[in-house]
Amino acid sequence: MILKNRVAIVTGAGSGIGQAGAMIMAKEGAHVAVADRSAPGAAETVSMIRDAGGSAESLILDVTDDISLEDGIASVLKRHGRIDILHNHAGAQIAGDLEQVEVEGFDRSWSLNVRAHFMAARFVMPAMKAQGSGVILNTSSSSGVLYDREMIAYTTTKHAVIAMTRQMAGDYARFGIRVNAVCPGWVDTPFNGPFITQMGGRDAIEAYVREKVPMGRWAQVEEIAESILFLVSDRSSYMTGQILVVDGGEAVV
């Protein structure tokens, strides 16, 4: 098991990609703190991990609440004595172009998609520096490298995550800490609800994916989880500041 004895925190792990990432880390031997604001969602992920023979605990918090986030991370550190992996995954998709998007929605998107990543990394960094190792993985999106129609809040934040990832990587490599980002493309989860509504329903989004993605289909969460595992494990030990786009080829056309 390539993550044996490592302690991981995964935010937004109560469903979708976050859940799949938490599960594959646990399968490979990590103890996973499943962080989510939904207690039922976190409990489901923990139950799935334990049923598969893995080790996990729930960490119920709102990542946009600095005090809750800091206390939650500190509690994991106190219980386990180290934090080896932080996967900043919690995020939100806010629809609308420059004139349509609600300013409140833009601010909420920034707080969740960028600032929460920044704060969680800030809170784990002292422990990682003290132990001389650590991996931070930030979830961006193919929207962080592409134009995404009428999604200015989402694309702005996801581009920002990439810049932040590269900056963190450059600043902390000398401490043995690696920082990378994963950019999923179209993954079939409820997360896409706002864009599906904006596009005019499920049939419209299916047609869009067939047209825009060279592979002609959605990704499954398990496919993104494999890329997550690569980036948080020693399989990517000489990679930092890198942006791994997993989008069925959309970014190349």
3-state secondary structure of 93: coil
User: Which domains does the chain show, CATH number per domain?
Assistant: 7-252 (3.40.50.720)
Question: What mean pLDDT do residues 47-68 have?
Answer: 98
Positions marked catalytic:
154
Q: Count the neighbouring beta carbons within 10 Å of the beta carbon of residue 122.
A: 14
Q: For the chain, what percent of residues have pLDDT higher than 70? A: 100
Q: Is residue 148 scored above 90 in pLDDT? A: no
pLDDT of 87 reads 98
47 contacts: CB under 8 Å, gap ≥ 6: none
Q: Is residue 253 scored above 70 in pLDDT? A: no
Query: Cα angle vertex 119, ends 83, 13, to 5°?
Result: 60
The tens digit of pLDDT for each residue in 155-197 reads: 999 999 999 999 999 999 999 999 999 999 999 887 777 777 7
> Do 209 and 216 touch, CB atoms closer than 8 A?
yes
Question: What mean pLDDT do residues 108-125 have?
Answer: 98
